[in-house]
Copies of this chain bind each other. A is one copy, B any other.
Amino acid sequence: MPTTAREVRLKSRPVGMPEASNFEVATVQVPDPGPGEVLVRNSWMSVDPYMRGRMYDRPSYVPPFALGEALQGGAVGTVVKSNDPKFAEGDLVDSMFGWREAFVAPAAALNKLPQTGVPAQAFLGVLGMPGMTAYSSFHRIGEPKAGDVVLVSAAGGAVGATVCQIAKIRGCTVVAMAGSDSKLDWLRTRGVDAGINYKVGNLLENVRAAAPKGIDIYFDNVGGEHLEVALEAARPFARFIECGMISIYNAKEPPAAPRNMAYIVGKRIKMQGFIVSDFIDMRDQFFAEMGQWVKEGRVKWEETVENGVDRAPQAFLNLFTGANTGKMLVKLD
């Protein structure tokens, strides 16, 4: 018996800042699952900054989103009907089929999630892609040592807030940058040593005041001026973890910063980009260690939740105005 589901499609490619009119909601028939297929009803959908990159029609590490199709992305849901022995009705699964209420997919495209008492949406956050992003790159590229000074940009976001807490567990001093005092207040409750509201005052002066001896690790989600400030504040042999550059994703003009790239030579900085899948070999270690930290309350998270599949575009737009604290999610009924 086919069912219907709503999905959010990319209607047109944004130029500069995305707008609500770039998206449309459609209702589709979801067929019965065929042999080896599974019908899933999503309960949580992930809304992530990196999705902006896939809205451009250009070669990249993943293909661009297709116009007129549902946007792909992480989601957690429950198996409604399974024609594959690996899944049973009621199983919790995550998938990458994105912004839709329900879908049919081959069993191989789903991951079964442990039912551990951790809230299901954690598998889209600290125990999902953002958590793995933070955990893997902080260790692999950042090479942290106790006593290192770590500067984190977009520290109120899902990845940044996780980095801050891992860095504290590793014995580092953590300076967090975010766009609101309430985000910084929450980060201080998680042990962060200093918080800087980048919208207030001179960012470089504030970083220098918070880290007078300079920084050893910079976790970059922002690029542009933040990156320039980090280059200025870097100690010799600093490691720059290049996770994202949200400040320029929507830029129509090339950014004017950083203008101080020569520090990379003189300070012997290592600057390295990555995509979470590059560190897939760390997956088991991540689940074991992060799962333990979450259980013990050593890593916590905040989340910003919109309700209903049709709210996904607005949730996405809100990422670029900093309206979210922690993980941005859409909850489905």
List the interface of chain A (C-beta within 8 A of B): 53, 60-61, 223, 227, 236, 242-245, 248-249, 254-256, 258-275, 278
Tell me if B270 and A272 are in contact (CB < 8 A): yes
Which residues of B sit under 8 angstroms from A259, Cβ to Cβ? 254-255
Task: Tell me whether B268 and A275 are in contact (CB under 8 A).
Answer: yes
- The 11 sampled A-B contact pairs (Cβ below 8 Å) are A53-B266, A60-B266, A61-B236, A61-B266, A61-B268, A227-B261, A242-B264, A254-B260, A264-B273, A268-B278, A269-B273
Given A61-B266, A266-B53: A261 in contact with B245 (beta carbons within 8 A)? yes
Closest CB of chain B to A55's CB: distance in Å? 14
- Contact between A223 and B278 (Cβ–Cβ < 8 Å)? no
Closest chain B residue to A272, Cβ basis:
B270
Instruction: Out of B61, B261, B266, B274, name the residue touching A255 (CB < 8 Å).
Output: B261
A243 to B266, CA, bound (A): 9
Contacts of A53 in B (CB 8 A): 266
Complex Cα distance A245/B269, Å? 14
> Is B245 a contact of A262 with CB atoms below 8 Å?
yes
Smallest CB gap from A221: residue in B = B265
B268 lies within 8 A of A271 (CB): no
Q: Which residues of B contact A273 (CB under 8 A)?
A: 263-270
Further pairs besides A223-B261, A264-B273: 11, Cβ < 8 Å: A61-B236, A61-B267, A223-B262, A242-B265, A243-B265, A256-B256, A264-B271, A265-B274, A268-B278, A270-B271, A270-B272
